Amino acid sequence: MSFAEFYQIFGQIVFLAGISILVLLSVTLILGRMLIKDDRLIFPRLLLFTIDVFYGLFKKFAENVGVDDKIVDQIGVEVRNKVNEKIFNRIKPQDKIMVLPHCLRNTDCEATLESSGLVCKDCNRCVIGVLKKKGEEMGYRVFIIPGSTFLKKIVEKNKFKAVLGVACYQDLNLAMNKLSKFHCQGVPLLRDGCVNTKVDSRIVMEKMGVQFGDSKKMNKSCTTETYPEKTL
């Protein structure tokens, strides 16, 4: 085979590979939007493969077709929640941990920082105290962390089977991917950022296993903010 023939065949292979990837990204985006809008999960392994292997490329692809690249992380979180939900719910709270982001705390927070994260002083100034108290009552070990490096330490020093996490979509998706050997559930922030973020504590508690009755009689300590519709 001559060099000309080799490069011709190589070029054809590259071209076909490129087309295949574009088709894969398109299919994943379509299936992901079906999951977000209609709550229909189809080919979860395909979705996670595309998101995990072509993460950066998928984000650029979403932008190029006029979609907010946040949808990539949103799809990842939604798929992982669906895949792990049944097993997560069967695991005892004593075998679960809950990880909350430090950005939920009040600006006047007096918590101290230790190797496992922030140590809440239970001042009841923010939703962290509400979730921590309820979680610990149920048997959860609760961690409040300022960064992913603390998550690594928590995994190394604690034994657990499942994780309930709160964070922005991107951090949730990436963390749930890294913790794939555990059964994870994630709740995205209502408003993200570095400070003064918000989460719907009712959604978090429902993930924890709290059973609410009439929504009008829900605990007043829980936020009454409406969880955002999945419009991406």
Q: Provide the sign of the torsion angle of the four alpha carbons 148, 150, 153, 155, taken in this order.
A: negative
List the 112-114 sheet strands across, edge first.
112-114, 117-119, 141-145, 96-101, 162-167, 183-188
> Tokens for 123?
């001042």
Q: Provide the sign of the torsion angle of the four alpha carbons 204, 207, 208, 209, taken in this order.
A: positive
What stretches in the chain show pLDDT beneath 70?
Answer: 1, 6, 214-232
Dihedral-angle region of residue 157 (phi above 0 means left; psi in -120 to 50 means alpha; beta otherwise):
alpha
Question: What count of residues does the chain have?
Answer: 232
- pLDDT on residue 227: 35
- pLDDT on residue 31: 94
